[in-house]
Amino acid sequence: MTRKLLLSAALQLFQSKGYASTTVDDIASTAGTTRVTFYAYFKSRSDLARALIGELNDLLGRSASAPVLVDVVAAGTYQAMAGWLHHRSSSWELFRPHLSAISEAATVEPELRGLVVGWFEEVIAEIKNGLDRAGRFVPEVRHSRAVLAFVQLDHLGRHWTEGRSEASREQVVTVLAESWFTLLGERP
């Protein structure tokens, strides 16, 4: 329970103050505990950020009903991509704080950079594997296409917010699906 309180307090502070401006004392105080208790659960602030990556992995976990990204890209249809993106976008609000926190943490903590880049590369690899499986496009450009698709998804997932954008989530995801289909889809 205390560990969850510390993670929740850190996430809240990272959103309001930013990762770089949030101290261990801030986190402990917001969680209603002490610095000593913080260190009983985490070795450092970057260790806590690693735990947030673990939480994000849990949040992004694939449910039995969700199609696997590799399969969606391999199918290459607009409908498959749009369906996956609509499903994934329904959770943007839920995992946005984690994505923002770990992205900022990676810019401040050198030991987290490789971990976050590796985490991003896993998603890019899933997209590329879908293209490989389908044999679409020349092999030399598949990774670049996967990077472009991921960057679009990551940017919208971290920045698009209901009520702050002129476009609805449905409209934004439709545009994203069109872009993904152009980048990744099966040509008639």
∠ Cα 174 59 142 (to 5°): 50
Whole-prediction pTM value? Answer: 0.81
What residues have CB less than 8 Å from 9, skipping those under 6 apart?
27, 28, 30, 31
CA distances from 41 to 1, 89, 91, 159, 188 (A): 11, 32, 28, 31, 55
Structure confidence at residue 66 (pLDDT): 53
With a pLDDT cut of 90, the percent of the chain lying above it is: 65
Residue 178 class from Cβ within 10 Å (0-12 exposed, 13-18 middle, 19+ buried)?
middle
Could you tell me the two tokens for 4? 């969850």
Separation of alpha carbons 156 and 7, rounded Å = 24
Structure confidence at residue 17 (pLDDT): 94
Q: What is the pLDDT of residues 44-90, one digit of tens each?
A: 999 999 999 888 877 776 444 456 899 999 999 999 999 999 998 98
Q: What is the pLDDT of residues 149-168, one digit of tens each?
A: 999 999 998 888 877 888 99
Could you tell me the two tokens for 34? 């002490």
